[in-house]
Amino acid sequence: MTIVGWLQIALFCLVVVALVKPLGFYMTRVFTGERTPLTPILNPVERGLYRLAGIDENHEQHWLAYAAAMLAFQIVGFVILYAVLRLQGVLPFNPAGMANVAPDLAFNTAVSFLTNTNWQNYGGESTMSYLSQMLALTTQNFLSAATGVALAVALIRGFSRASFRTIGSFWVDVTRCTLYVLLPICVVYALFLVWEGIPQMLGPYVEATTLEGGKQTIALGPVASQIAIKMLGTNGGGFFNANAAHPFENPTALSNFVQMVSIFAIGAALTNVFGRMVGDERQGWAILAAMGILFLAGVAVAYWAEASGNPLLHALGLQGGNMEGKEVRFGIVASALFAVVTTAASCGAVNAMHDSFTALGGMIPLINMELGEIIIGGVGAGLYGMLVFVIVAIFVAGLMVGRTPEYLGKKIEAKEVKMAMLAILCLPLMMLGFSAAATVLPSAVASIANPGPHGFSEILYAYTSAAANNGSAFGGLTGNTLWYNVTLAVAMLVGRFFMIVPAMAIAGSLAAKKTVPVSAGTLPTHGGLFVGLLVGVILIVGGLTFFPALALGPVVEHFSMIGGQSFAAQ
């Protein structure tokens, strides 16, 4: 580890924190219907969309109607996405002549992009036509991200309102998020990426002649527009198979830094939106502080592990950190930081192969996802996931002092706690249940590239990534099989919607409650004591649930590595 490396990490954190207030202020005005600098331009477009769809922007929905509208929106999106992938061979904008996507792979991919997971059991440049990349994948990147933000705002209204039966309109929230937040930023962002050297074109692939006289096909296409929303919307699905390690997706150190910042930007700013809408910005800063503590702890361990390198190579006289699977233009610190950022958020983009990280370096992305991706998390999903843990922490605090727990003037009762636990427990059911099944199924085990604990980590990582709606992969698992396509899709659906529906039920329940005045027995939820309690609850829940699985995978591999044993591919 070096001072320069730590300065890079510090600069990243400073830029993210600096964006929290201005972006949070802007998004608060968007979702409260107040005027913004873009209102004169976009308001006529917004109203035109409402008239076209027959929506009354002033009509709000009960939480059940809000959730039903969201689910109907997802079903229609899935049908369109699946149809485009299955028919891409006969659709236009297919200069490379890509064939129709196989049924099981199309199902997995449609579910993946629908749930903001963007798990990819395919190589983008060798499987998807331009139309599929634009109409199916990039469009869904916008809509899935907007859905996550809309749901987070609906839950915030549950905390901020009193004696209300409604939590807003899903159609209005998702429209405003897309029009006022995602599209304007992505237009500027995509132009920046083009300036950095990322392609944006509809022409055919280019054939080049190498110095040896051979022929090489260079894949191009509408790349910049997809990369902008994949990062900003924490989607993560790459235009190319190598994702953000590919020079056409991430060409320079500057593009790498900006992409990392954009992954965190909206998720971090939503904590400020929360504070503003509940009338106390300190509440948002407290939640961001808890996220920041967990994030910095993960960065420190991952950076240390990768900078320390492999003791097996040190024994051979090869000193230095672990550069296997990393791009030399980024190095160890930017690769380790990117890995923690992309798994702390629900992004899944990668600029290095996590399969090649050291055992402990690869364990940190696993832990980030197993905690529910509430360390910033996906746009919207991270905040409502963290608020679910807040409810559990408040409940624990209430048990300690023997009184009904309160948060922001709302009594946290049995219904909210039950819904919170349902949302939390659905993730380990998918992550550990499917991992256990895959480790005893011969056809599933045949897909791993490495034996022993590293192979187990590959399986565990896949289902953890799917259920947490992350989408990154260790890289050593052959996932394009019937078993993995179907089971990973099921894990994605459960991880997304079994979290969303309980969160909306909590929002509806809280919005209907009256506000209770603060008393001497009320636990302050904006200070260090509450931040420590929240972090402790998160770590205890995650530790008790996942430590046995981690012990069988990366922990065993780390001690084996110290003992001189490796688990290379057979």
The DSSP code for 551 is: I
The two most distant CA atoms of the chain are separated, in Å, by: 81
CA–CA separation, 266 and 559 (whole Å): 39
Q: Which residues pair with 477 in a beta bridge?
A: 448
SS (H, E, C) 61-84: CCHHHHHHHHHHHHHHHHHHHHHH
Angle at 14 between CA 12 and CA 19, to 5 degrees: 100
Pull the structure tokens for residue 175.
């429209």
Condensed to tens digits (0 to 9), the pLDDT of residues 3-32 reads 888 999 999 999 999 999 999 999 999 999
Tokens 């992505």, residue?
Answer: 186
CA–CA separation, 421 and 429 (whole Å): 12
Higher pLDDT, 556 or 523: 556
Condensed to tens digits (0 to 9), the pLDDT of residues 52-100 reads 989 988 899 999 999 999 999 999 999 999 999 999 989 999 888 889 9
Residue 377: pLDDT over 90: no
Question: 193-197, 395-399, 427-431, 457-461: which range is least confident on average?
Answer: 395-399
**How far does Cα 391 stand from its chain's mean position?**
22
Angle at 567 between CA 565 and CA 570, to 5 degrees: 130
The pLDDT assigned to 267 comes to 92
Q: Which amino acid is at 34?
A: E
CA–CA separation, 205 and 184 (whole Å): 29
Q: Are 237 and 229 in contact (CB under 8 A)?
A: no
The pLDDT assigned to 163 comes to 83
pLDDT band at 569 (very low <50, low <70, confident <90, very high): low
CA–CA separation, 527 and 523 (whole Å): 10
Mean of per-residue pLDDT scores for the chain: 88
- List the domain boundaries for the chain: 22-206+219-281
The pLDDT assigned to 292 comes to 93
* Cβ-defined contacts of 541-546 (< 8 Å, 24+): 541/389, 541/392, 541/424, 542/367, 542/370, 542/371, 542/372, 545/370, 545/428, 545/432, 546/367, 546/370, 546/428, 546/431, 546/432
Q: Which amino acid is at 160?
A: S
H/E stretch holding 6 reads helix 3-31
The pLDDT assigned to 313 comes to 67
Q: Which amino acid is at 186?
A: C
Tokens 């309102």, residue?
Answer: 161
CA–CA separation, 127 and 106 (whole Å): 11
Q: Are 345 and 263 in contact (CB under 8 A)?
A: yes
Tell me what the mean pLDDT of segment 362-371 comes to. Answer: 90
The pLDDT assigned to 322 comes to 79
Tell me what the mean pLDDT of segment 341-354 comes to. Answer: 89
Tokens 């003791």, residue?
Answer: 311
CB-based contacts of 68, cutoff 8 Å, min separation 6: none
Condensed to tens digits (0 to 9), the pLDDT of residues 469-486 reads 888 888 778 888 888 989
CA–CA separation, 487 and 485 (whole Å): 6
- CA atoms within a 13 Å half-sphere pointing along the CA-CB vector of 333: 14
Closest C-alpha to 455, from 566, 360, 372: 566
Closest C-alpha to 444, from 474, 480, 469: 480
Condensed to tens digits (0 to 9), the pLDDT of residues 208-219 reads 888 888 888 888
Per-residue burial over 465-494, b if 16 or more Cβ lie within 10 Å, else e, is: bbbbbbbbbbbbbebbbebbbebbbbbbbb
CA–CA separation, 570 and 564 (whole Å): 17
H/E stretch holding 411 reads strand 410-411
Residue 394: pLDDT over 70: yes
Computed over its alpha carbons, how large is the radius of gyration of the chain?
Answer: 23
- Do strands 206-209 and 215-218 pair parallel, antiparallel, or not at all (unpaired)? antiparallel
The pLDDT assigned to 318 comes to 62
